[in-house]
Amino acid sequence: MPFLKECDEMTKYDIASASYDELVQFVREIGEKPFRSRQIFGWIHRNHATEFSEMTNLSADSRIKLMQHAELNKITMITSEISADLTTKKYLFKLQENGMIDSEGSFVEAVLMTHRHGLSLCVSSQAGCKMGCDFCASGIGGFHRNLTAGEIAAQYYAACRDADKRIGNIVIMGCGEPLDNYDNVLKFINIVCDDRGVGFGQRNIALSTCGIVPRVYDLMKENLQITLAISLHAPNDQIRRKLMPIARKYSIDELLTAGKAYSTIRRVSFEYALFSGVNDSVANARELTKRLAGINCHVNLIPGNRIPEKGYTKSGRKAIADFAEVLTASGFQVTIRREFGSDISAACGQLRNKYKCTHTVK
């Protein structure tokens, strides 16, 4: 019984992070019929059950077995904030450990955004972050731990319950570096895309990375149809190394070579946050066009969020427009991201840090 051997009275099986095949094996080990696997998987990933007692088409004995041997590793919504224009809602969740609220007060965030084409949810993959990007609030306070596949999915399920409707797009772009939590993130994608659960379309999922180059090549081998968004934020190594420590390990040429390889499978999106006087000049834009030449890509320009802890200010509208014009004139497809939730600390890590600074963690 490989699954049950891993568990004891204090550590139960994390059933929400199980793939369907793993769930089939687990159900068999606890003496249940195979058809229970589809029922349980559906309750967790289609009906978003948070308690075994909700699984009403299971017998009382079956539910007791699940409570004895497994846990639904839930997250707890601590607070939420909605923007004045009603387009953005940010959730703050507290993680659990072995069925109990995390004693170290580990928080993650998710952001629900309303677009013309529907709803999109940005989820977190780690509590904190190791990458240390100079303009990002996610890593303030350090790295706590990776999220499980079930905890990543739980953010989506909680937001769906709150919105009372299906959310059609998922962006793995919240707190943490997804490719630093590769196995759990990949498992999350496979679980939510399983037709026996959510049945999410891979093309409606985007994964953002700061540039762990070997993992980009690993991701290519998975044959997924997700969109890869590469956080570039600079046209050269000199600027990028100041903004992003990962650039000291992998050069911009190495990263763009990996991005170009991935773009042969599916078009890549390059994320470029613009900060006043740092990376937003016309000369920077011209250099960027040369770097990206020959790559099947889209460029997403982001007005950089003001991060008081880091001292960065976003570029002005004219600087952003001039930057975009250079790229567009060179034949690139460019969008300027709408500013979502600037009045509710919607940038990665901001609400988490604000809450931790004003509340005693219990």
Catalytic residue among 109, 151, 177, 271: 109
The string of pLDDT tens digits covering residues 278-311 is 999 999 999 999 999 999 999 999 998 776 666 7
For the beta carbon of residue 163, count every other beta carbon within 10 angstroms.
Answer: 14
129 is known as an active-site residue: no
What is the three-class DSSP state of 144? Answer: coil
- pLDDT at 2 exceeding the cut of 80: no
The string of pLDDT tens digits covering residues 171-196 is 999 999 999 999 999 999 999 999 99
DSSP secondary structure code for residue 158 in this structure: H
pLDDT grade, residue 262 (50/70/90)? very high
Contact status, residue 297 vs residue 268, Cβ threshold 8 Å: yes
Q: What residues contact residue 244 under an 8 Å CB cut-off, 6+ apart?
A: 131, 133, 134, 210, 211, 231, 233, 234
- pLDDT at 362 exceeding the cut of 60: no
Give the class (CATH, top level) of 76-358: alpha beta
Fold of 2-71: DNA polymerase; domain 1 (1.10.150)
The string of pLDDT tens digits covering residues 190-246 is 999 999 999 999 999 999 999 999 999 999 999 999 999 999 999 999 999 999 999
Residue where the block lists tokens 């509590």: 127
DSSP secondary structure code for residue 307 in this structure: B
Question: Model pTM?
Answer: 0.90
The string of pLDDT tens digits covering residues 306-344 is 766 667 888 999 999 999 999 999 999 999 987 654 554
Q: Quick one: residue 178, left, alpha or beta (phi over 0 = left, psi -120 to 50 = alpha)?
A: alpha
348 is known as an active-site residue: yes
Token couple for 251: 């050069």
Catalytic residue among 129, 136, 297, 348: 348
The string of pLDDT tens digits covering residues 30-49 is 999 999 999 999 999 999 99
Residue where the block lists tokens 């049945």: 199
Domains of the chain, residue spans: 2-71, 76-358
